Chains A and B, each alone.
Chain A
Amino acid sequence: MIKLKGRVYVAGTGVISAIGKSIPETLTSFKNHTSGVGKVTLFDTVYKDSLPVGEVKASNSYLAAQLSVNPDLTRTALLGISAAREAVAASGVDVQKWRTGLISATTVGGMDKTESFFVDFLKDPSRGRLRNVVHHECGSSTELIADDLGVKGFISTINTACSSSVNAIALGTRLIRHNILDVVIAGGTDSLSKFTLNGFNSLMILDQNPCRPFDAGRNGLNLGEGAGFVVLVSDRVKDEHKLKPSCVVSGYANTNDAFHQTASSPEGRGSFAAMQKALAMAGLSPDQIDYINLHGTGTLNNDLSEGTAVRRLYGDRYPRLSSTKAFTGHTLGASGGIEAVFSIMAIEQQCVFPNLRFETSIPGLDIKPQVAFESNINVSHVMSNSFGFGGNCSSIIFSVT
């Protein structure tokens, strides 16, 4: 058994979501308690007026123009390029100089374009524009981001539903610790699509109002979209570029709840194990965590299960915690990456984010999330949870350098 040496630093971050197209815009939304959840405007659906979503406030043509890329790219790729570029620019690292990898995560892939192809294709199999399906596969969006950044050392895509991009960041960390890569751009991207909106609606877990994570009156989730990437570097890269990164990846864990395809176990066994293992790797006790960014989708099942797991770990002495999905909606495969960026922001800004629309604790759990944006507090260790369908549970911890 080899002992992994060295630390893995976060040199840069980038994000795009319903609450901002960049890190500064996002922070402003948090400070002002401005949620990005609203009506669907960017595609046609019978649920336009009934199912709130967290849309990125930019059309594909706007994004493409801003990025100077082909406007026919899938929305997932456009969002991913935006966030990944921001992260690389912020990092101060010359990615071409090192053994660099890109590890992305997505559940939607090119489905936003595929679903419009299918309308014509179903009428006649010789119809439908092929350019709308050429980037259907999840791995295609990653190729587009990699080609845009000029990365070809190692490219990969993970799809473990909503836990995907935490797993991407964990893999990036491992590849650096095993001295296979020096720099990894890791995270995830997902766009809204009719397919996922209808899929979640068929499960009857969408709230017809803006979601209320961890509230007794919660009634489901709102879907969202966006992308979040981090640039991970080794000690050697940090020293050579004379970087001053704010934090390191100190722990991560991937477990499986193995209870049911879509529901989490009542005792939250998978989420409990993920949090516990991440802490063990980080060499931290639970009370050293200053803030937990909860998965907190707003569904009856997740919040009760995750809350139960938090209780099992902490009893009464849980740290500040909140779900930021009340701001962004549930960004599916991108949520781990986006919320990792938020977790890192919490360390950099020494702040915690509010859990909007919380009023009453879940009966029996009595957990009160953070209700206001708060700064000037000590935030040294932040945990972020991401739990997905198929029982995939992942947890990651960032710690101040």
Chain B
Amino acid sequence: MDQLTADLKRQIIEALNLKHLKPEDIGDDQPLFVEGLGLDSIDALELIVLLQTHYNIKMANPQDGPQIFRSVKTIAEYIRTNQTA
């Protein structure tokens, strides 16, 4: 697991208060929403805040959420593409 993925898993668990999970419980490709972890629209908003707070990325359109937040892997890819400084 690369550092970004490892960090992301930790941050997601903290931001979404998934206290019953450890980073190794979340698969890189595991679906985060609906099935898999079963996250919902409020969690998506929290992930938007997470991107801003930890990675300085402002996602203006919540409609893009479902694609970007599909899995930890897709989030990591988005961060790599969009991170400024």
Chain B associates with chain A: yes
Q: Mark A252-290, 1 if CB is under 8 A from B, else 0.
A: 000000001111000000000000000000000000000
Q: Which residues of B contact A263 (CB under 8 A)?
A: 41
Q: Which residues of B contact A262 (CB under 8 A)?
A: 41-42
Cross-interface CB contact of A260 among B40, B48, B62, cutoff 8 Å: B40
A266 to chain B, nearest CB (A): 12
Closest to A301 in B: B41
- For B41, B48, B49, the residue with the greatest tally of chain A CB atoms inside 10 Å of its CB is B41
In the bound complex, CA of A260 to CA of B43 (Å): 12
Closest to B49 in A: A202
B15 within 8 A of A: no
Interface residues of B in 10-38 (CB under 8 A from A): none
Closest to B40 in A: A260
Task: Check B42 against A204 for contact (C-beta < 8 Å).
Answer: no
Interface residues of A in 167-219 (CB under 8 A from B): 202-204
B6 within 8 A of A: no
B45 within 8 A of A: yes
In the bound complex, CA of A263 to CA of B62 (Å): 14
Interface of A is mostly: loop
Closest to A261 in B: B42
Size class of A's contact patch?
under 10
Number of interface residues of B (CB under 8 A): 7
B47 to chain A, nearest CB (A): 12
Q: Which residues of B contact A260 (CB under 8 A)?
A: 40-41
Task: Check B40 against A204 for contact (C-beta < 8 Å).
Answer: no
Q: Which residues of B contact A202 (CB under 8 A)?
A: 45, 49
Q: Which residues of A contact B45 (CB under 8 A)?
A: 202-204
Closest to B62 in A: A204
Q: Which residues of A contact B41 (CB under 8 A)?
A: 260, 262-263
Q: Mark A298-325, 1 if CB is under 8 A from B, else 0.
A: 0000000000000000000000000000
B33 to chain A, nearest CB (A): 13
In the bound complex, CA of A290 to CA of B82 (Å): 53
In the bound complex, CA of A204 to CA of B62 (Å): 7
In the bound complex, CA of A261 to CA of B43 (Å): 12
In the bound complex, CA of A222 to CA of B82 (Å): 30
A401 to chain B, nearest CB (A): 44
In the bound complex, CA of A147 to CA of B45 (Å): 42
Nearest first, the 3 A-B pairs at minimum CB distance are: A204-B62, A263-B41, A204-B45
Q: Can you list 10 residue pairs at the A/B interface with Cβ under 8 Å?
A: A202-B45, A202-B49, A203-B45, A204-B48, A204-B62, A260-B40, A260-B41, A261-B42, A262-B41, A263-B41
Which A positions have Cβ atoms within 8 angstroms of B? 202-204, 260-263
Extra inter-chain contacts (10) besides given A204-B62, A263-B41, CB under 8 Å: A202-B45, A202-B49, A203-B45, A204-B45, A204-B48, A260-B40, A260-B41, A261-B42, A262-B41, A262-B42
